[in-house]
Structure 1
């Protein structure tokens, strides 16, 4: 049995209009929401063996904040370029290439691909849009990640920060 957590990057900043999309950082709310969501996972006793992220600044920073909350080494974050602007097919490919030693993996990425991907994982739990810093998790009845695509998937949770305004 494996667990896959799909996490959309936390809220990003638009304060520098000329900044390339790839280089946008997190805003203050994003920096607050990521540790909050990591704590919610820990409160549910959900462990994470591996942190896999798009190298885009906002996704990587979200992964770093989760890593810190889990007391993991930031150098262990696996950056995969294909996760920036990824299609569902790319997500499937990334998951199928994960190291089988990892039983619980968190993948940090972006919309629209992340929403499209989660909607292919648990058809009875449709998510119209993954809000920033949302977490969608499933259990998969496999021992090897290469079998992910056709494996039985069981919905575990969908959670996202509530805006305090």
Structure 2
């Protein structure tokens, strides 16, 4: 059994002239929500063991908050920037098998679509949401569309 946490990055700052989409940082709400969500998962006892993030600044900033709380490093994956659901699931399928609980931090619409493809659940991930999905597999390489089930959707608003 594996657990995949599919997380959308926290709220980013659109008000910086000349900053590319890839380089947009978190805004004040994102800087508040990301550490709060990370602390919430830790308080709930989620045994997170690996974090894979898009290379975009807002995703790295979000992932960094989880890394700080859980004492982990962040693995950056360029393919997650503007990734499709298929790419998100391919990245997950490459997670080392000694990891039972992993998080991928990315962007919509790919993250929401990945939850739907993996679990069949029809959800929308707002910024900083985390979809916790159980996957009855022994190896991440076995991860395929429809192989998971939604356990819980956490959002900053329901804290």
Indicate whether 1:82 and 2:79 are aligned. yes
Deviation digits for residues 53-74 of structure 1, max 9, x if unmatched? Answer: 00100000100011111133xx
Residue 10 of structure 1 corresponds to: 10
CA distance in 2 between counterparts of 1:29 and 1:37 reads: 12
- In structure 2, which of residues 90, 93, 100 is the aligned counterpart of residue 96 of structure 1? 93
Deviation digits for residues 124-158 of structure 1, max 9, x if unmatched? Answer: x311x211000001111111100011674232110
CA distance in 1 between counterparts of 2:71 and 2:145 reads: 33
Residue 26 of structure 1 corresponds to: 26
CA distance in 2 between counterparts of 1:54 and 1:132 reads: 14
CA distance in 2 between counterparts of 1:151 and 1:111 reads: 19
Indicate whether 1:141 and 2:136 are aligned. yes
The normalised TM-score by structure 2 is 0.93
CA distance in 2 between counterparts of 1:63 and 1:70 reads: 11
Gaps of 5+ in 1: none
Indicate whether 1:126 and 2:122 are aligned. yes
Total equivalences in the alignment: 158
Alpha-carbon distance change, 88 to 26 in structure 1, aligned in 2, over 3 angstroms: same
The structure carrying a bigger helix percent of its residues is 2
* Poorly superposed stretches of 4+, deviation over 2 Å: none
CA distance in 1 between counterparts of 2:38 and 2:89 reads: 24
